[in-house]
Amino acid sequence: MRDEICYYCGEKSSTKEHIPPECFFPKGRKVELFTVPACEKHNNAKSKDDEYVKVLLTTSADLMLRKDLSYVIDKSERALERSPAFKATVLDDPEPALVIFPCGTSIPSTSHKIDISRLLNFFNSFARGLFYHHEEKVWKGSVEVALHFLLRPDAEEEDQLMNDELLEHYDRANSHGLNKNVFYYNFVTVFDDAPPSKILMYILCVCLFDKFKVSLILAPGPDLY
Ligand SMILES: [Zn+2]
């Protein structure tokens, strides 16, 4: 019975995990997200990372003008005000920065050192949840995470090319997701050209808040199939 096993570890499940986390969505609109069964450990382990990632993304200057997201931006700002310790974690090591809007105006802001390991933990679970939702089985391999929104303009050419190649898989119009302003994704299966065609990898093209793109790459090893 698949509903009885945890999407992450395959052990007996006792609770449910929302994908994306419930706190990303407006209240009363749960129809826009889905759940996967989870054990206690893999439900609880995530909640701090969920909150960190939510606050990190939604207090980013990129979303400053997004009225459609004010419900979550306001909440994140209140969370920072309530807890100085949390604020220090999210706004670690501030440096002056300039934010440039597409219209050409710019405003001074600050950039912060980002806790990459928490982002990676978050997207690792995210990938496993999405995979389980789609394929109805637990992903036993590793997950590679490409954080497109953190690619620096001065990145190596090879990284830029890889970045552009992955971004080509995004197709918002044909994506999954009932509230694309918050979350949508494309599930791409890449096959080997030569027969017998076997699955080379899955690419889960995830976009959060219609802004932050992250490719989650799941490549089956010889022992997985
Ligand atoms: Zn588990």
54: nearest Cα among 145, 127, 133, 119:
119
Distance 165 CA to ligand 1 centre (A): 33
The predicted structure's pLDDT at residue 94: 57
Q: Phi and psi dihedrals of 59, rounded to 5? A: -100, 10
Distance 217 CA to ligand 1 centre (A): 21
User: Quick one: what percent of the chain has pLDDT higher than 70?
Assistant: 87
**Partner residues linked to 144 by β-bridges:** 217
The predicted structure's pLDDT at residue 90: 76
- Is 90 exceeded by the pLDDT of residue 62? no
Q: How far is CA 211 from CA 28, 58, 75, 203, 223, in A?
A: 23, 10, 19, 18, 36
Distance 128 CA to ligand 1 centre (A): 11
Query: What is the average per-residue pLDDT within 59-81?
Result: 90
Q: Which residues surround ligand 1, an ion (CB under 5 A)?
A: 6, 8-9, 39, 42
Query: What is the average per-residue pLDDT within 40-49?
Result: 85
The predicted structure's pLDDT at residue 217: 94
Distance 201 CA to ligand 1 centre (A): 23
Query: What is the average per-residue pLDDT within 193-204?
Result: 87
Higher-confidence residue of 188 and 97: namely 188
The predicted structure's pLDDT at residue 87: 82
Distance 40 CA to ligand 1 centre (A): 7
Per-residue pLDDT reduced to its tens digit, 82-107: 888 778 777 766 555 555 555 555 55
Distance 210 CA to ligand 1 centre (A): 29
Query: Would you place residue 225 in the very low, low, confident or very high pLDDT band (cuts 50, 70, 90)?
Result: very low
Distance 18 CA to ligand 1 centre (A): 14
Distance of CA 89 to the CA centre of its chain: 19
Distance 144 CA to ligand 1 centre (A): 20
Distance 42 CA to ligand 1 centre (A): 5
- Is 90 exceeded by the pLDDT of residue 196? no
Distance 7 CA to ligand 1 centre (A): 7
Distance 207 CA to ligand 1 centre (A): 25
Query: What is the average per-residue pLDDT within 18-40?
Result: 85
Distance 95 CA to ligand 1 centre (A): 38
